[in-house]
Structure 1
Amino acid sequence: MAATIALWPHISCAITFSHGDVLRIGQRVWQNECNGTISGLTAWNGGEDFASLGIGHFIWYPKGRRGPFEESFPKLISFISTRGAKLPTLLLKSSEQPCPWNSRAEFLQAQHTPEMNQLRQFLVDTIDLQAEFLIARLEGALPKMLDEATPADRANVQQQFERMSRTPRRCFALVDYVNFKGEGVLHTERYQGQGWGLLQVLESMHGATDAGAVDEFVRAAKATLTRRVHNAPPERHESRWLSGWIRRVNSYSGG
């Protein structure tokens, strides 16, 4: 990070929108990630070792568990608590506490408990703060992407990021995509040497004006995701997910 800032002293990625705009971004992420349902705010998918909570399905690992994905729910709670929001009893011990349910079976059994209902209500009441957290995380992604990009690509990546982050509608596309497919900076997230995160989408954009920025982003994202499926190991059968991914990306052109 320090090296990136030294290379790019003019980085300015502060994203500021009205509360209403931030809330609308949060509601659209909620729709894409959870189908806009309250029950979708508390999920634990089959075959996974963690709960997925909130509009961004932020990961929360039980005690002693870790995996390849970054744990983000404790960071979200820490962020929300600094904003003065009242935390549910379940989260009062510490922002770093592990997920209290040790398995998906335990989690599903607790679906209608007072603790789970209180947690869901808390997540409904803090849609705006969760969106602020996602935007803050997006701001932090730019230096990492510039650090990972080749020197020849850095100016264009920054230009495309700034082009897309100037309005709430365009910023939603960045927020949702990075939450959905990552920043594109991890070398572990590559097939045949090619990534599929936000960095790779921005690298393939070359427009210079605000006009058509979202449509160009959508085209670039669809091409990036299609390439991922093409490059994926055949045994993963990733083509089964592509139509859903494309629908999600197409949603960036509306609203």
Structure 2
Amino acid sequence: ISKENLEELENQDFESILALRKRRSREVKKVLKEGAPIYCRTSEQLEYREVKKEDGLRYILCRNPEVAISQHRERQEDLAYLQAQLEQLKGKVASQKRPALKRVIRQAEEILSHRHGHRFFDYRLEEKGRQLTYFRKEEALALEKELDGLYILRTREPELEAGEIIQAYRDLADVERAFRTMKSVLDLRPFFHRTEDRVRTHVFICVLAYLLEKLMEKALQRAQMPLSAEKALSSLKQMGVAVMQVGQESYGYVSEPTYRQRQVLAALDIPLPSRVLVPQKLG
């Protein structure tokens, strides 16, 4: 949402909960420096702290420790890879009497175009000495470390507790994810409806798909299966039917369900399909 639209919403006294863009916002860098860096842990996947402003603006800094560890590990792997590539290029340049500068720049840019290279490294090519030097962007890396596993919510809502704000945002994120999943799972295309009835029908299908997804996930949770509805449907989608023609009749043979597929079907209280389908007359 643009700054202008946000200001208009607030001027009209609409309450909002927004997630800030982490790396492109001066607001984020400013908030990170404010308040005591002490987080309240609510679970293994969530800890948070709040920064309150005098004008009523509130920031909820939410951190997932498990995601933070994973992102830190991935970044260290990226740094090691990029540094090895740059070191190799540096040695190659040093071994040549008159390396082609444009070619060296092109190779350095190619290296840094992968794994967020430009975010983490910069380089300098000395035209006289024809030497390549590179260095880490320590300030950017320090910011990345602070952002590991973090998302920041912004609101002026005065009544809700921090935990309620987080839950409200998560509920919205679940709905948005469900609608994206619905469009891929049901293979719905974007329609340009011109009548009210068609718009209502389209919205009804969206909401119905969301309801079915949540019912599936609740059934999977009761069966202690750590699967989303999307992954469960993706697993079942691998089941197929082979058709064999015998004379004037065709027989359908259902593929043997995998262990995961059997688990999903059992969790959803769906009986296993017959391996051989009833023959049908051809023609």
Is the shorter-chain TM-score for this pair beyond 0.5, marking a shared fold? no
TM-score by length of 1: 0.25
> Which has more helix, going by share of residues?
1
Q: Could you say which structure has the larger radius of gyration? A: 2
Q: Comparing both structures, which one devotes a greater share of its residues to strand? A: 2
